[in-house]
Structure 1
Amino acid sequence: MTGGQTVVLLLSVLVASTTQVTVGFGFALLSVPLMTMAVPTREAVVISTILGLLTSSFQAWHGRRDADRTLIRRLTSAALVGLPIGWLVFTRVPDDVLRAILGMSVLVAVMLLATGLVARGSTRLDVLCGALSGALASSLSTNGPPLVFALQARSVPMRVFRPTINTVFTFSGLLSLVAFALSGEIESDAVVHALWSVPVLLAGSRIGFLLRVRVREEHARRIVLTLLTLAGLSAILAAIV
């Protein structure tokens, strides 16, 4: 890896971890497309899953008293259905195609989040979103949007939203890593690059905690959507060029 690629990788982690802690989601949505400018798509997914597991598990533990355990059980159970499907996509689809799918999925997520579309909360919606999140977790590591959609449909307050969604992230991330390991998709470079990024991850998380109490939620969301749009477009362009 060149010096420039290392800088891109570390900046991707810094921006994504700051975003994740500030608004409760967005780590993989930002980090994976940005990382693909420095490393192959599959490696970016593995690195993001490793680092995302660290930040999501910490946030899940930090807010565990406010987490909605009923929703967690329902969403994680549904995610089990989607995880094998996503794993098949991850292991069978060519890297450039995977990168294009990644970019398009991020842009679709931006459109859904930007429109503020809110469905009526129901068990059926929870199960559908949970299964979709599982498939996205093990294929692209970008499983946030379906979970955000399901929790918004139930008007979950932010203090409950953060630990609930991060507990599901932790569950899906752990199982995805196990699947990647069993299929031989975790290479030494990905592990080394993830370890390099841990100090930057911690720095970004610290910045996120500071911003959380200073930045208004609606302003933070606008910034996140702008960053996601740029990240999604960059992934699509990289796949084409």
Structure 2
Amino acid sequence: MMSTAILMVLAALIIGFSKTSLGGLAVLSVAIFADILPAKESTAAILVLLIVGDVIACWHYRHDGDWALIRRLMPAVLVGIALGTAFLRIVDDTFLKRSISVVILVLVALQLWLKARPTQGDSRAHEHPIAAWSAGAGAGFTTMTANAAGAVMTLYLSASGVDKKRFVGTMAWFFLIVNLSKVPFSLGLGLLHWRDLSRAAMLAPAILVGAWVGYATIKRISQGVFDIAILLASAVAAIGLLIRS
């Protein structure tokens, strides 16, 4: 019981940290919750914590969201969420846990591919309807099934050529909207309960501490070095979850 509580506090710290710095690290919290709770239950439990982190991040970056970009993605995101909801209805816990691991590993690979590409300056490819619908539907599906859409958004926002501050601000506002949109679906699946709200209330201080550390850290650390650390940690977490499933 004590070890479970410690892991939950650690996951909450990571969520807060990731929401105000680089979102890819949040997959560690996804893996932690999927390991200590039934996989389906974990998706709703961590959703509430993510929303708390989103609110804090949006306060920090309240003037930095790219709303035109967010509006472009939202219709496809809702389609992806609906598909993810259908997927959750038909799979069991073991298959879902393995799916979460595979999704995380695939998204880590996407991020590695993104970083290996030569820099080509600003691109308008992200404005093409196919790119927007692919990114939106992919983000909706992966966030509903694994709360792990950060890498999809990283790929899409990087293609848009937004600066670092607007990048983080857009991620913050996008995921607040998306995670709030997932609440009715989680309720419909019978996954979201009052205990998830009480757990989030108890862990909120840890999320706040993590958010403060993340906000301070992103100003000082080299983004390139930090990105590599996130990818390594995410891969280790996904492989560990896959082995234990």
Same fold (TM > 0.5): yes
Deviations 1:177-206 (A, max 9, x none): 121113321134433332222111111111
Alignment match, 2:28: 30
Residues of 2 paired with 1:121 and 1:180: CA distance?
A: 30
Partner amino acid for 1:67? G
Residues of 1 paired with 2:243 and 2:144: CA distance?
A: 23
Alignment match, 1:206: 212
Whether the aligned pair in 1 keeps the contact of 2:39 and 2:96 (CA below 8 Å) is yes
Residue 27 of structure 1 deviates from its aligned partner by 5.3
Alignment match, 1:172: 178
Partner amino acid for 1:103? S
Residue 214 of structure 1 deviates from its aligned partner by 1.5
Deviations 1:99-157 (A, max 9, x none): 10101111111111122266843322122101111111222111211111111111211
Alignment match, 2:230: 224
Partner amino acid for 2:164? M
Q: Secondary structure at the match of 2:63?
A: helix
Partner amino acid for 1:122? E
Q: Is 1:16 matched up with 2:15?
A: yes
Residues of 1 paired with 2:8 and 2:56: CA distance?
A: 22
Alignment match, 1:148: 154
Alignment match, 2:188: 182
Residues of 2 paired with 1:169 and 1:32: CA distance?
A: 15
Residues of 2 paired with 1:87 and 1:48: CA distance?
A: 16
1:63-74 alignment to 2 at 5 Å? 63-74=61-72
TM-score (norm 2): 0.89
Match for residue 85 of structure 1 among 79, 83, 86: 83
Partner amino acid for 1:212? I
Residues of 2 paired with 1:22 and 1:66: CA distance?
A: 14
Deviations 1:50-76 (A, max 9, x none): 111122233234323222111010112
Whether the aligned pair in 2 keeps the contact of 1:80 and 1:131 (CA below 8 Å) is yes
Alignment match, 2:100: 102
Partner amino acid for 1:177? V
Residue 15 of structure 1 deviates from its aligned partner by 2.5
Alignment match, 2:2: 3
Partner amino acid for 1:159? K
Alignment match, 1:121: 126
Deviations 1:24-51 (A, max 9, x none): x135412111122322212221122111
Alignment match, 2:120: none
Q: Secondary structure at the match of 1:66?
A: coil
Over aligned residue pairs, what C-alpha RMSD do you find?
1.8
Q: How many residues are paired up?
A: 237
Residues of 1 paired with 2:178 and 2:110: CA distance?
A: 22
Distance 1:195 1:31, change over 3 A: same
Unaligned runs of 5+ in 1: none
Residue 176 of structure 1 deviates from its aligned partner by 0.8
Q: Secondary structure at the match of 1:224?
A: helix
